[in-house]
Amino acid sequence: MHLTTTTWPSPAKLNLFLYITGRRPNGYHELQTLFQFLDYGDTLTITPREDNVITLTPAVDGVKLEDNLIYRAADALRKQAGITAGADIQLHKVLPMGGGLGGGSSNAATTLVALNALWQTRFTADELAGLGLALGADVPVFVRGFSAFAEGVGELLQPAEPEEKWYLVVKPQVSIATVDVFTAPDLTRNTPKRPLSVLLDSQYENDCEKIVRRIYPEVDMALSWLLEYAPSRLTGTGACVFAEFSTQQAATATLNKLPDWLQGFVAKGMNQSPLVHALNEHAAESQ
């Protein structure tokens, strides 16, 4: 076991499109969505321990350590491997909570991938993704680390290579409850299923967007502002919205015009996660 301290990226993702294609008897929605990573996100600094203690700083207000996704990921990996090991984990958080950028799922995935390397538990990506699925539907995407077309309830993944554009991501000052979106009576639930090749050549849309714009005026205002400058839409069920640009300069120029009531950042779309790059670097250094 390597007891040195290392730092690992925990990137954001965007849903470049999101279509609701049906509803199962258990209430879960069938969907088709396209995940792409951003070169922007949280970071985890991890120091392995030889005892069975896992610490996480800073503490999250109102969330017990045992309920935190980072702790749960570390604990699940440790139990699956049948080992006595611990870690001191420090989270540097820049992604907004409840923004639809996958921050919590990404944190859990980075924990699994990093500790699998640091504890030398030698699970495959498939095995780690299986552990991750129990923590959240989006965790496997982050574990595998490639842009993916997702179907079913989000668990059926196939690699995809959308264009790697520049994005201006904006977070309105509102938190969105996903359940409110998926239970809305007027949510579109019958978008026809289409093969990925057709979807990649079609205009990207998000079936949740009209519901979110109706319930949350802050999101409606943000999208209305962004649409003046570039093609823009909601990611996931929100609250973040994003505009796409072909150059960093164009995205940054629009960021500099953001009104006071909006915060945002510019990032590059990546079809291979920064986490994969970090894992490869770690493997090379450890040889």
Residues 11 and 148 in one domain: yes
List, in sequence order, the alpha helices (H) in 59-183: 69-81, 103-118, 125-133, 139-144, 178-182
Cα(266)–Cα(191) distance, rounded to whole angstroms? 31
- Predicted confidence (pLDDT) at residue 220 exceeds the cutoff of 80: yes
The answer on 150 and 20 residing in a single domain is yes
CATH code assigned at 184: 3.30.70.890
The number of distinct structural domains making up the chain is 2
Is residue 24 domain-shared with residue 99, that is, in the same domain? yes
Catalytic residue from among 13, 42, 165, 171: 13
63 within some domain: yes
Of 168, 163, 164, nearest to 252 by C-alpha is: 168
Range of the domain at 141: 6-160+275-286
Question: Does 1 map to a domain?
Answer: no
**pLDDT tens readout for residues 241-286:** 999 999 999 999 999 999 999 999 999 999 999 999 999 999 999 8
- Is 268 known to be catalytic? no
Stretch 138-163: mean pLDDT: 93
147 and 68 in one domain? yes
Supply the DSSP symbol for 29: E
The answer to whether position 264 is within a domain reads yes
Domain membership flag for residue 212: yes
Residue 259 placed within a domain: yes
pLDDT digits (tens, 9 = 90+) for 40-60: 999 999 999 999 999 999 998
Please check whether residues 153 and 189 belong to one and the same domain: no
One domain for residues 47 and 177: no
Which residue in 75, 93, 138, 165 is the catalytic one? 138
Q: 152 and 170: one domain?
A: no
Residue 139 lies in a domain: yes
Per-residue pLDDT at 14 exceeds 90 = yes
120, part of any domain: yes
Check if the beta carbon of residue 42 is closer than 8 Å to that of residue 10.
Answer: yes
Angle between helices 103-118 and 274-286 (to 10 degrees): 10
Q: Is residue 112 a part of any domain in this protein?
A: yes
Do the Cβ atoms of 213 and 223 come closer than 8 Å? yes
Active site residue 39: no
